Structure 1
Amino acid sequence: MNDHIAAALQDFTQRYCQHWQQLHGHLPASEELYGIPSPCAVENRGDAVLWQPQPFDAEPHLAAVERALELELQPAIVSYYTTQYAGDMQANFEQQSLTLLQVWSEADFVRVQENLIGHLVMKRRLKQTPTLFIATTETDLDVISVCNLTGEVIREKLGTPEREILAADIRIFLNGLQPVISSF
């Protein structure tokens, strides 16, 4: 199953990079990640960094998250966050616009784990089902997450029990993504 998650993520990333290349004639660019060290950074161009995905080379686990909350995580979410280093990518899933969150570097991986811990602590305090975010939306309070109990991909409104199932699992979700390329 984890190999299927990695393959689906890599497939989407390849489609995203190819689409960007076709529209702009170069690798994906990010102004937000400019100046932040990463194995993905290929070239600085103006106020942006051009990037390409790289294999994840740290320990492939989210043990810090599991230890902090005494919680076993869905293997799919571990695979998602430990497949590659890449820039965040814009996409559509059906009618939902989103930004697929990625790990930019080993230092960013530590920050992502800290944010996942904070998110899970909030869910626990609110006595809600544990979820792990994988994407943001245009609405600040809505995030795309994986339910740690079922593995379903959901859109949830932070701080509320409101949620909508988007896909039965993360592989189906990733396979259903369509790249959205911003102007550069």
Structure 2
Amino acid sequence: MNDHIAAALHDFTQRYCQQWQQRYGHLPASAELYSIPSPCAVENRNEQVLWQPQPFRAKPHLDAVERALDLQLQSAVVSYYTTQYAGDMPATYEQQPITLLQVWSEDDFVRVQENLIGHLVMKRRLKQTPTLFIATTASDSEVISVCNLTGEVICETLGTPRREKLAADLRTFLKLLQPVTEIA
């Protein structure tokens, strides 16, 4: 399963980078990540960093999250967050805009784990099924998550029980994403 997630994520990332190259003649660029150290950073240009995905170098686990909540995580999510370092990547899923969250560096990996712990603590306090976010949406109150019980990818409204199934699993979800490379 983990190899399938890594392959689907690599495939999407490759399509995203190729679209940037075709559209702008250079690697993906990010103003938000400008001057933040990362193995992905290739060049600073016009207050943006040009980046290229790099293999994940830390140990491929989310043990800090699992220990903090005494919870076994979906292997698909572990693979998702430990496959590569990359910038966040805008995309569409069935014409809906999302931003696929990625790990930018080892320091960012620590922050991502802390945020996942906070998210899972909130879910536990609300007595809701545990989920692990993988993307944001245009709405500040909605995120794209993987249900830790079923492995389904869902759109959930934070703080409420509302959730909509988007895909049966993370691999299917990643395969259906379309890259968006327009500069805002």
Structure 1 residues 45-96: Cα deviation after superposition (integer angstroms, max 9, x where no partner): 0110000000000000000000000000000000000000000000001122
Q: 1:23 maps to what in 2?
A: 23
SS at match of 2:154: strand
1:130-141 alignment runs, 5 A limit: 130-141=130-141
1:161-180 alignment runs, 5 A limit: 161-180=161-180
Q: 1:97 maps to what in 2?
A: 97
1:135-154 alignment runs, 5 A limit: 135-154=135-154
One-letter code aligned to 1:22:
Q
Separation in 2 of the partners of 1:180 and 1:124?
34
SS at match of 2:127: coil
SS at match of 2:151: coil
Matched, 1:82 2:87: no
One-letter code aligned to 1:161:
P
Matched, 1:129 2:129: yes
- Where does the alignment leave 5 or more consecutive residues of structure 1 unmatched? none
TM-score by length of 1: 0.99
SS at match of 1:150: coil
- Where does the alignment leave 5 or more consecutive residues of structure 2 unmatched? none
Separation in 2 of the partners of 1:96 and 1:130?
24
Separation in 2 of the partners of 1:123 and 1:183?
34
Separation in 1 of the partners of 2:86 and 2:179?
14
Separation in 2 of the partners of 1:42 and 1:2?
28
TM-score by length of 2: 0.99
One-letter code aligned to 1:163:
R
Matched, 1:49 2:46: no
One-letter code aligned to 1:60:
P
Separation in 2 of the partners of 1:58 and 1:146?
22
SS at match of 2:10: helix
Q: CA deviation at 1:29?
A: 0.1
Structure 1 residues 134-161: Cα deviation after superposition (integer angstroms, max 9, x where no partner): 0000000000000000000000000000
Percent identity of the aligned residues?
79
Displaced runs of 4+ in structure 1, greater than 4 A? none
Separation in 2 of the partners of 1:15 and 1:140?
27
SS at match of 2:156: strand
Q: CA deviation at 1:183?
A: 2.3
Matched, 1:109 2:104: no
Separation in 2 of the partners of 1:32 and 1:159?
27
One-letter code aligned to 2:113:
Q
One-letter code aligned to 1:81:
Y
